[in-house]
Amino acid sequence: MRSSELDYDLPSELIAQHPADRRDGARLLVAERSSGAIRHRAFADLPEEIRGHLTVVNDTRVVPARLQLHRATGGGVEVLLLEPLGGCEWEALTRPTRRLREGERLSPPDSAAEDGWVELLEALGDGRWRVRLSGEPRGELPLPPYIHERPTDPERYQTVYARDPGSAAAPTAGLHFTPELLARLEHERVTLHVGLDTFRPLTAEQLEDHALHGERYRVEPEAWSRIEAAGRVLAVGTTTTRVLETLARGAPLAGRSDLFIRPGFAFRRVDALLTNFHLPRTTLLALVMAFAGVERTRELYAVAIRERYRFYSFGDAMLVL
């Protein structure tokens, strides 16, 4: 499959710049695979649509991982912390990266600060570095570049059930849940820390040639036993889907997942998918196409655009049954 087949045209005004006033006030496009039916609901109606399903959420928490630093020469460098490597070391993405050198130290704007600096240890390619961080991450939440207005409440870029810090981006399908709505659902938790693989666009001409770097996950034994035994499972988001399908193939309960779900994939544990509307040419859209079907996904996105749904991280949601 060519990566260009994951393209679509989106009017810029449909890119959501802020979350809905209420988390569960977002819209919900419901699509049935068996009948082809489409319904337009509010997210608060979700319990009525998924009776009999065990809902599985990703409880990772976004870290303040976007650091604005300076070189000794005075030039600015943005460092996005992707993943802790142990001790004080992280994998990070830098911008710009071309002139950076191993051993260089990048400092926060307040040069008198005792911590907050980053030392570049090893270039990993494609703008990635192994770095040493002094202290804990104290940057900004790493909002996607298409969001131009920072939320007044930073917690709106965290799910209400987020508890395990480690992500460089939010698992956005979960942003619509309120504590009250979640309490109405039979649910379980898994953890996948969102890293470069989730938001990196496709660069290879053929989808099959795109390589995944892998992201860390962990699932408690009791949670997996319950998920395995469930009659039907609703995966909240593409990250949750990757964890469940990784474990369904015999992987250990903790490790790294480089599972690339694309059209032709055989799902073994996910029976329904709740997801936001994704950017073109991304592995996230490829996963949705694998679950809903390529042409069906194109049809659903066309419906969402025609009906003026809001797209991307702070946008509306789609439920595929």
> Quick one: which of 37, 35, 41 has its CA closest to 307?
41
The set of residues, in sequence order, having a beta carbon less than 8 Å from that of 34 and lying 6+ positions away, is: 321
Confidence (pTM): 0.94
Question: pLDDT-derived band of residue 74, with 50, 70 and 90 as boundaries?
Answer: confident
Share of the chain above pLDDT 70, in %: 99
Question: pLDDT-derived band of residue 33, with 50, 70 and 90 as boundaries?
Answer: very high
- Stretch 284-298: mean pLDDT: 97
The pLDDT score that the predictor gives to residue 156 is 96
What distance in Å separates the CA atoms of residue 283 and residue 260, rounded to the nearest whole number?
8
Give the C-alpha distances (Å, rounded to integers) separating 88 from 81, 120, 132, 134, 318. Answer: 12, 12, 5, 7, 39
- Stretch 42-57: mean pLDDT: 98
The pLDDT score that the predictor gives to residue 112 is 55
Question: Domains of the chain (ranges plus CATH)?
Answer: 3-62+143-320 (3.40.1780.10), 66-133 (2.40.10.240)
The pLDDT score that the predictor gives to residue 111 is 59
Residue 310 has pLDDT above 60, yes or no: yes
Question: pLDDT-derived band of residue 188, with 50, 70 and 90 as boundaries?
Answer: very high
